[in-house]
């Protein structure tokens, strides 16, 4: 028996805003989309174009709260980059850096819904 990572899900309030953020911040592109026949949900799968792993963004029509409760936000995705300095500059310009640990050489960005994404140098 063999298991492989497939995707990770984030629920989002504004699907198009989130797609734009992930494309600008991390270069992710839409790979596919599934829409419920009754319009109750849309799933969009984003890819980095290099690995098989995908980020699934879920929009729910009937979600009534203003935001998703992310708790302490200790669960996060991590992305590696081959140019940490350039990535940091880009994310500073986007004003999305929410935490830095200079001693470890990492930082986190927050998406429009408050999900944290760790940025680490490729080693």
- 74: pLDDT confidence band, cut at 50, 70 and 90? low
Q: Which residue has the higher pLDDT, 121 or 67?
A: 121
Give, in order, the Cα–Cα distances in Å from 42 to each of 1, 47, 113.
32, 16, 16
Determine the pLDDT at residue 79.
Answer: 95
Domains defined for the chain, CATH in brackets: 7-61+75-121 (3.10.180.10)
Rounded CA separation 123/115 (Å): 24
For 53, the 3-state DSSP assignment is: coil
Contacts 24+ apart (CB under 8 A), 66-74: 66/13, 67/13, 67/113, 67/114, 68/11, 68/13, 68/113, 68/114, 70/113, 70/114, 70/115, 73/114, 73/115, 73/116
What is the mean pLDDT of the segment spanning 39-60? 96
Question: For residue 87, what is the enclosing H or E element?
Answer: helix 84-93
d(CA 105, CA 116): 16
Q: Is 15 helix (H, G, I), strand (E, B) or coil?
A: helix
| Residue 108, number of CB atoms within 10 A of its CB | 21
Query: Whole-model pTM?
Result: 0.89
């Amino acid at each position: 028996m063999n298991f492989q990572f497939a995707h990770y899900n984030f629920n989002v309030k504004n699907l198009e805003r989130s797609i734009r953020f992930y494309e600008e911040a991390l270069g992710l592109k839409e790979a596919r989309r599934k829409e419920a026949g009754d319009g109750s949900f849309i799933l969009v799968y984003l890819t980095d174009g290099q690995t098989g792993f995908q980020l699934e963004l879920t929009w729910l029509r009937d979600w009534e709260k203003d935001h998703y409760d992310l708790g302490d936000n200790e669960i996060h995705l991590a992305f590696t980059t081959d140019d940490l300095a350039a990535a940091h500059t880009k994310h500073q310009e986007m004003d999305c850096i929410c935490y830095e640990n200079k001693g470890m050489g990492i930082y986190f960005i927050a998406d429009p819904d408050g999900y944290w994404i760790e940025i680490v140098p490729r080693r």
